[in-house]
Amino acid sequence: MQRVQRAVVTGGGGFIGSHVCDRLLDSGAEVVCVDNFSTGHRSNVEHLADHPGFTLIEADVTEDLDVPGPVTLVLHLASPASLPEFARLPIETMLVGSAGTYNTLRIAQRHSARYVLASTSEVYGDPLEHPQKETYWGNVNPIGPRAVYDEAKRYAEAMTVAFRQTYGLDTGIVRIFNSYGPRMRDDGRVIPNFIAQALDEVPLLIHGDGEQTRSPCYVDDTVRGILALASSDIAHPVNIGNVEEISVLELARLAREAVGSASPFKHVDADLDDPRRRRPDISRATLELGWKPQVSFAEGLRLTVAAMRQARQGLSG
């Protein structure tokens, strides 16, 4: 595939989306960031405002949308991405995965552009297969508290495949696992929550016994994987995540240690349908994209803590 010339990034004001915008601009591409800032933040892209290759369109992708000028890549990253946001914006979460996916696929179709859907490890639900391969169909509760996100992403994948089969659109699907790093808010996701609680010297809340596992992948590695897929012609889903599996209790300990906090742990009720184990099989990404994570969790955590400290100092300054 040729180098990306002009990319549309939906959800470009979000955590991962803003880092994608940075990396594309660094590569020489032009970027059209589309965001309604329902969960993303202007502060994530304000440093790009004067960049000659950057355009910001404040719009809701669940409504009909087109982008003037040439487009060679559409990256659909827009969506709420944490349990509190699903509870606050359930209908919006479903719509961005359904109508939003349809509308962004139509943009790619009109411009004959490569289309990449940002899907999620949540399509596997509380998995009965471990580690999770892309061929696993998942174990999802369609009416549980995570269902609006899980099912929206599963629907989005089906819609993306349907456009490829019906119209011959050049599509790809990336399933993202537990990404973390700078610009991530303490919005219910485990790592920024633990860091924020440690910085505030309040108890770190462990939901359930803490033995459930996650596989944290630093955002720079996640973005490299997304863009590697975008620059390929691979159509089938590809897992992008870290194979280092860590318990939630250990994540809390490491976050507290990285902050230098004496905060105690406090166990609270487990979240309903919280996956017990989460670790990707990344054989496809390694063999077909030459991708694997490079940033250790210790280094990624150090960088994330530093960024959250700096952000707090900026707010208080």
Q: Which residues are catalytic?
A: 149
Residues 229, 91: Cα–Cα separation, whole Å = 29
Tell me how far the alpha carbon of residue 189 is from its chain's centroid.
11
* Tokens 């250790």, residue located: 296
Q: Who's near 221: CB < 8 A, 6+ residues apart?
A: 240, 242, 293, 294, 295
Strands (DSSP E) found in the chain: 6-10, 30-35, 54-58, 73-76, 114-120, 171-176, 179-180, 204-207, 213-214, 217-218, 238-240, 246-247, 265-268
Distances (CA, A) of 200 to 183, 267, 308, 312: 18, 18, 12, 11
**Phi, psi (rounded to 5 degrees) for 9:** -120, 105
Task: Give the separation between CA 48 and CA 183, rounded to whole angstroms.
Answer: 14
Task: Please answer whether residues 223 and 20 qualify as being in contact, where contact means their C-beta atoms are separated by less than 8 angstroms.
Answer: yes
The encoded tokens of residue 43 equal: 């502060």
Cα–Cα nearest to 32, from 96, 78, 75, 81: 75
Tokens found for residue 297: 């969790």
Strand partners, 114: 73
